[in-house]
Amino acid sequence: MSRYHIDPLASTFGAEVFGIDLSGPLEESVSASLIDDLLKYRVLVVRDQALSHEDHIRVSRVFGEPEIHVQDQFTVPGFAQIVTISNIHRNGVPIGLYDGDNEQEWHTDLSFRPAMSSVSLLYSVIAPEVGGQTRFADTTAAYDDLPAELRARVDGLEAVHSMVHLFERQAADNPAKVPLTEAQRARVPDVVHPLVRQHPQTGRRSLLLGEMIIRNIVGLDESESASLLDRLHAHATAERYVYSHRWAVGDLVIWDNRATMHTASPCDHTRHQRLLYRTTVM
């Protein structure tokens, strides 16, 4: 297979990949190039793919081993590594994660885990005509551009990431949100991560944030913690650091969780359905 073609997407990060078919086995050189390009661009968009669940898992393994999500009721039967992302309801019950019309929450996948996730791969099967974009923020370039005094302040600070806190915040906004079971809550105790992390492969630093999943910054009172987090989020999600992806059927978007964060956009589930499948590599 010849080398695919790649074009940058946004001012600081992101690229679109052309001339590649991910539905069959990949040559080692192509797999190595995808890994290198993801490290360079942090988000890769591959359009016009026709992937089975087996294909999705195989492509994911280019980057590592996919995990099994804690909310196993949303994983695909027979494919525990694939979680359903959807706003579709059947008999009044959501079939996937992020079921609400306005569930916007900047985050990094699985930051509630002690071992951070590395790469996520999201594949579109039903794309809405209106809304439902996924927005990505370049937390690496955002860190590079921090004012010197703010960079000095956040280096060395740690934050508590709590999936229980996240679900409590989401339930306050969306009473229909499917809660964690007691067994699931027991599997996700609070964890502490640095506010600034260093990428294990590129060596670059980035901000590790989360609008709802962070309970507090260690060592700061509630007001000071909230104020600092608000300032960092406003900086990291400024327009110059954001790429907004409008989904089409067959899109596969691959992103580096160690260097970005992302959020869904509003989508009226009564008029516009969205269905995607995600794997996340640890």
From the first residue on, what is the mean pLDDT of each consecutive set of 10 residues in the chain (282 residues)?
84 96 96 98 98 98 92 90 90 74 79 90 94 94 98 97 79 65 82 97 97 94 96 97 97 98 81 92 92
Tokens 């995990």 belong to residue = 67
The set of residues, in sequence order, having a beta carbon less than 8 Å from that of 251 and lying 6+ positions away, is 45, 46, 47, 49, 123, 124, 127, 245
**Can you read off the two tokens belonging to residue 30?**
């192509």
Amino acid at 45: V
Q: What is the pLDDT of residue 93?
A: 79
Contacts 24+ apart (CB under 8 A), 202-205: 202/39, 202/259, 204/140, 204/144, 204/259, 205/140, 205/143, 205/144
Give kind and range of the element (H or E) at residue 139.
helix 139-144
Cα gap 7→159, rounded to integer Å: 36
Look up the pTM and report it: 0.92
A 10 A CB-CB count for 198 gives 11
Angle at 256 between CA 49 and CA 78, to 5 degrees: 55
**Can you read off the two tokens belonging to residue 247?**
């989904």
Q: What is the pLDDT of residue 1?
A: 47
Residues in the chain: 282
Q: What is the pLDDT of residue 131?
A: 81
Cα gap 175→191, rounded to integer Å: 26
Cα gap 244→135, rounded to integer Å: 4
